Amino acid sequence: MEEEIKAKAEYCLNCKLKPCQSACPLGNDTAGFIKLIKENKLKEAYELLLETTVLQPVCSRICPHDKQCQGSCVRGIKQTPVSIGDMEAYIGDLAIKNNWKIDKKSEEKNKKVAVIGGGPTGLTCSAVLARNGYQVTIYEKHDKLGGIMVHGIPDFRLDREVLQKTIDKIVELGIEVKLNSELGQDYALDSLAKEYDAVYLGFGANISSKMGIEGEDVEGVLGGNELLENNIHPDYTGKTVIVSGGGNVAMDTSRTVKRLGAKRVIVVYRRSRTEMPAEKKEIEEAIEEGVEFFFQNNIIKICGDKKVEKIECVKTELVQKEGESRLSPVNIEGSNFFIDADYVIMAVGSKPEADLLKKLNLELDKWGRIKIDENSMTSKKGVFAGGDVVGAKATVAWASRSGRDAGNAIIKYLEKN
């Protein structure tokens, strides 16, 4: 493996402009850590990555590299791009194997921060704070940390042992963890705000959005986010399941359902394959597992008196609309057709839990998410927020970036207060 990784490192041109770094949500110094691999300075490579991310073994496995770092690789213009993800995974796994610690940058400070949510944004924020000497307590509603990495990404895509060891390294910074503790149920935001010097809200937005079409309320219409989070499924054996959407939730849901025995799993997506936000590798693996794809089709109705019986679709064409950067799907009149179905799974986006947000009494934006300023602070002084709950892009890397930025903003706030 080491020789293979060295060969992949040598393939990198070490570009001065580093377009791969600019395309990384976390801004990882890709050319820098690859150069250290070339020089056999593997621990130094890990330490360089630590400057921007504490989730190397995770992001390296699940990030849509073809749309981010590797998609901007100069090598990829005419040849195969540099295998950045493989090398990051190697370094992250090596750090676990050799028990390389996440170093602390500062002595202990007499300031306490509560972090709500143990997903990628909460874990990253906690790591930033703990590394800088702050006392951190994570409140997690489930019985284990990980958030979407545990309750949203199937284990066939992210090895649970690797994930747990990655989380353990963060907690070993001295972070206190309170599991099975749910905001709005077991404690209130106001009480935490009084007990701690700062609070970070990073509990995500895992309520599946709907399409706003007729028939969405009949039996058999399910939410992809909830299915993945709770891992509670109906019996799909011999059934036809329609998945609406084109992102990673759609891919993870469709592959999970297929593995659970569905006869047919059909992903219906309004745009073309090249425009799907899901990672290219995930689409290819879904196809290999027998998932069918209906590209440039739009579900306009779910049919059935009491339960799902079929869906009505129309074909779409992609047109350029004024003021929009990409082509928009437009329904083609008269192209209607039906597909018999037993279940329809919505994977077209997610939103925060509205009832919980009401309890927080914080200012929301026009999309119903928590409103924050340029320093990640909410309308309540000392309460910060990040990740999906504020509308950050729905990937682990972007959630982590949001947590890192908030962690640094909290440090600045605590230094002044």
pTM confidence score: 0.92
Range 132-149 burial, b when 16+ CB lie within 10 A, else e: bbbbbbbbbbbebbbbbb
Q: Sketch out the chain's domains with CATH numbers.
A: 2-97 (1.10.1060.10), 112-205+352-416 (3.50.50.60), 209-350 (3.50.50.60)
- State CA 26 to chain mean position distance: 13
Give the C-alpha separation, 48 to 338, whole Å.
54
Check: CB of residue 102 under 8 Å from CB of residue 173: yes
Give the C-alpha separation, 327 to 271, whole Å.
9
Place of tokens 């437009």: 330
Residue-level pLDDT, tens digit, the chain, 417 residues: 688 999 999 999 888 889 999 999 999 999 999 999 999 999 999 999 999 999 999 999 998 888 899 989 988 888 999 999 999 999 999 999 999 999 999 899 999 999 999 999 999 999 999 999 999 999 999 999 999 999 989 999 999 999 999 999 999 999 999 999 999 999 999 999 999 999 999 998 888 999 999 999 999 999 999 999 999 999 999 999 999 999 989 999 999 999 999 999 999 999 999 889 888 889 999 999 999 999 999 999 999 999 999 999 999 999 988 877 788 899 999 999 999 999 999 999 888 888 899 999 999 998 889 999 999 999 999 999 999 999 877 789 999 999 999 999 999 999 998
Q: Give the residue from 56, 116, 117 showing the smallest Cα distance to 89.
A: 56
pLDDT of residue 332: 96
